[in-house]
Amino acid sequence: MNVEKALQKLKEKGYKRTKQRERILDIFVKQDQYIAAKEILREIQTDFPGVSYDTIYRNLYMLTDVDILEATELGGEKHFRLGCETHGHHHHFICTECGKTKSIEFCPMENLNESLSGYDVENHKFEIYGKCPQCN
Amino acid sequence: MNVEKALQKLKEKGYKRTKQRERILDIFVKQDQYIAAKEILREIQTDFPGVSYDTIYRNLYMLTDVDILEATELGGEKHFRLGCETHGHHHHFICTECGKTKSIEFCPMENLNESLSGYDVENHKFEIYGKCPQCN
DNA sequence: ACTTTAATTCGTAATCATTCTTATTTTGAG
DNA sequence: CTCAAAATAAGAATGATTACGAATTAAAGT
């Protein structure tokens, strides 16, 4: 996924192209890791000193909504990363030091259909935390 | 796990017995589900109108520390429940309606040791969300 | 290019969970 | 009973997130 492709997708959905949005997308395309809202803000302020949290959050949630970003909660803060489109459903190892991730091409839900009969499964979360080889 | 057993465990670790602590434990023993700090506060205030959040959090964290409670983050809020001592490491289905849980006696980490060589795994989270048979 | 209109952003205030601080109270050992 | 350590109360502080009115801007049509 690159910035232009993402903006194209947004256009199809009726969202406008703004400098701030381009910049936000740019950050995610360049960094393959989970990023907190405040880091996005800090990064963007170098170009747009006036951006507000409202703009950051509104865009992050919107981008997550249209499946350009993925969101997760790390240590009480929401973090976002570019969605992986190369493969289907999967999970992540997440480095608690640098935020970089490694895809885990395995979903534990495959193993336990029968043990949840009677339950309406809506969602699940499987994340592995630790230090990546670089940070270790 | 019952209240007396828990208090006994605390005594062994050098923690004192207080009315507030008894009451907190009581709530967890009676409710087999994840509970947010504010719900604990509300419940306790019927008996101790003056309890502060400080007391709640201090105790919840302490009880988690000594493995009497388990903690997880649900929707940006920390939630706690009585630890399941009848079995070892396991995971949970969590009802998003009532907070009740069902133990999942299966850990996905067993399946992927080799794919994470070079990574220092510190922790993991596997939770299934949905509606339990009663709420469904 | 100009106008219109709705989307978007800015600036700031409000909210909510959690943590911190200080003074006071309680517990349990001796 | 006395005392020191532990625990609590009360409220302020913090930090992430959300909300909102006013101002700006993108883009679609004229």
B122 touches chain A (CB under 8 A): yes
Confidence (pLDDT) at B17: 96
Confidence (pLDDT) at A7: 95
B8 touches chain A (CB under 8 A): no
Query: 10 Å Cβ neighbour count for A94?
Result: 25
| DSSP-derived 3-state class of residue A56 | helix
Query: Which pairing describes strands A77-82 and B91-95: parallel, antiparallel, or unpaired?
Result: unpaired
Inter-chain CB proximity A102 and B96 less than 8 Å: no
Q: Looking at residues A15-32, what average pLDDT do you find?
A: 95
Q: Please name every residue paired with A78 in a beta bridge, in sequence order, or none if there are none.
A: A73
Q: Flag whether pLDDT at A86 surpasses 70.
A: no
Q: How is residue A46 annotated by DSSP?
A: T
Question: How many Å from the N-terminal Cα to the C-terminal Cα in chain A?
Answer: 29
Distance CA(B81)–CA(B67), nearest Å, equals 11
> Closest Cα to residue A40, out of A8, A86, A71?
A71
Which residues neighbour B14 within 8 Å (Cβ) at sequence distance 6 or greater? none
> Closest Cα to residue B90, out of B61, B70, B112?
B70
Give the DSSP H/E element, type plus range, for residue B35: strand B35-36
Confidence (pLDDT) at A113: 76
Q: Looking at residues A91-101, what average pLDDT do you find?
A: 89
Inter-chain CB proximity B126 and A109 less than 8 Å: no
What residue has its CA nearest to the C1' of D9?
B52
Q: Flag whether pLDDT at B86 surpasses 70.
A: no
Count of all residues that appear for chain A in the document: 136
For A121, the closest of B115, B119, B130 (CB atoms) is B130
A65 touches chain B (CB under 8 A): no
Per mean pLDDT, which range of A98-102, B6-10, B40-44, B116-120 is the poorest? A98-102
C1' nearest to CA of A78: which nucleotide?
D16
Per mean pLDDT, which range of A44-58, B25-39, B42-56, B82-96 is the poorest? B82-96
Q: How would DSSP label each residue in B60-101?
A: HHHHHHTTSEEEEEETTEEEEEE---SSSS-EEEEETTT-BE
Domains along chain A with CATH numbers: 3-82 (1.10.10.10), 91-130 (no CATH)
Distance CA(A48)–CA(A46), nearest Å, equals 6
Q: Please name every residue paired with B54 in a beta bridge, in sequence order, or none if there are none.
A: none
Confidence (pLDDT) at A131: 92
Q: Looking at residues B71-82, what average pLDDT do you find?
A: 92
Q: What single-letter amino acid sits at B81? A: R
Confidence (pLDDT) at B99: 81
Q: Radius of gyration (Cα) for chain B, nearest Å?
A: 17
